Amino acid sequence: MAEIDINLKSVEETNCKLPAIISRVAEVNSTISNIKAVINSSVLGRSNLRARLSAAQSDINDIETGLHDLYRGINNIVGIYENNELKLLNDIKKLKV
C-alpha cells in the first residue's frame, strides 16, 4: 500500500484563509442588499431585477454556508488525523519495546 503524506501545516495555513474569504462573500451579499434598498421599486420591478438580485443573494448565502462547513470540516479532519497519527506513533513505540 502506498504511503499517504499529508502536509498538515499547509492544510492548516490554507484553511486559515477561509474566514477572510467568507467575510468577503458576506460583504458581497451585504452590497447586494444595499443595492436593492437604494434602487427605486419601479426599477426593481423591471426585467425581474428584484427576483434576480434575490436569487443572487440566495446563491451567495449557499456559498457562504458551504465555506463555513468546509472550514469546520477541515478543522475536524485535521484534528482527527493528528490524533490518529499520535496514536499510531505510540502504538509503534509500544511494539518496539
Check pLDDT > 80 for residue 78: yes
| Spans of all domains in the chain | 8-96
For range 4-28, the mean pLDDT: 93
For 32-43, what is each residue's pLDDT tens digit? 999 999 999 888
Check pLDDT > 80 for residue 97: no
For 41-94, what is the HEC assignment? HHHHHHHHHHHHHHHHHHHHHHHHHHHHHHHHHHHHHHHHHHHHHHHHHHHHHH
Q: If you average pLDDT over every residue of the chain, what do you get?
A: 93
Residue 3 — pLDDT band, cuts 50, 70, 90? confident
Task: Tell me the whole-structure pTM to 2 decimals.
Answer: 0.80
The residue assigned the cell 426593481 is 44
pLDDT at residue 77, as a whole number: 94
What per-residue string of b and e applies to 17-35 under the rule 16 or more CB within 10 Å gives b? ebeeebeebeeebeeeeee
For 11-21, what is each residue's pLDDT tens digit? 999 999 999 99
- Ramachandran region of residue 48, left (φ > 0), alpha (ψ -120 to 50) or beta? left
